[in-house]
């Protein structure tokens, strides 16, 4: 049995990205970046990251069988400053790796 992985990354003072074993959750104290239930199993999460002003605009929702993304249910949209891009990409790489 593989060891449980727990990763927590603070994007800013309000937004925390959490990988708890095989579940990704996003907590936002300001409620500006998330809607619905921002919690996904690693097999179901879809992440779209596009360059924006030196950083990234990240959209998260449910991944559909054709690898497109559904915006029904929980979703999140947030901007990542340039200096935090490597950390956020590494976080989502770990989530993808947790798919097994």
Q: How many residues does the chain have?
A: 100
Of the two residues 16 and 70, the one the predictor is more confident about is 16
**pLDDT tens track for 38-59:** 999 999 999 999 999 999 999 9
- In a 10 Å sphere around its CB, with 0-12 CB exposed, 13-18 middle and 19+ buried, how is residue 25 labelled? middle
Confidence check: pLDDT of 1 > 70: no
Whether pLDDT at 37 is above 90: no
Average pLDDT over residues 5-20: 96
Domain 6-97 has CATH 2.30.29: yes
- 44-99 pLDDT, tens per residue? 999 999 999 999 999 999 999 998 898 788 899 999 999 999 999 999 999 999 99
User: Could you tell me which of 23, 77, 25 has the C-alpha nearest to residue 52?
Assistant: 77
Cα separations (Å) of 87 from 3, 17, 68, 69? 22, 11, 24, 23
Confidence of residue 2 (pLDDT cuts 50, 70, 90): low
């Amino acid at each position: 049995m593989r060891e449980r992985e727990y990763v927590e990354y603070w994007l800013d003072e309000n937004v925390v990205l959490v990988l708890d074993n095989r579940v990704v959750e996003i907590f936002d104290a300001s409620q500006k970046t998330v809607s619905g239930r921002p919690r996904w199993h690693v097999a179901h999460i879809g992440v779209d990251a596009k360059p924006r002003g030196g950083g990234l605009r990240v959209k998260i929702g449910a991944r559909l069988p054709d690898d497109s993304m559904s915006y029904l249910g929980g979703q999140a949209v947030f901007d990542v400053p340039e200096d935090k891009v490597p950390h956020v990409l590494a976080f989502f790489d770990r989530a993808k790796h947790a798919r097994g």
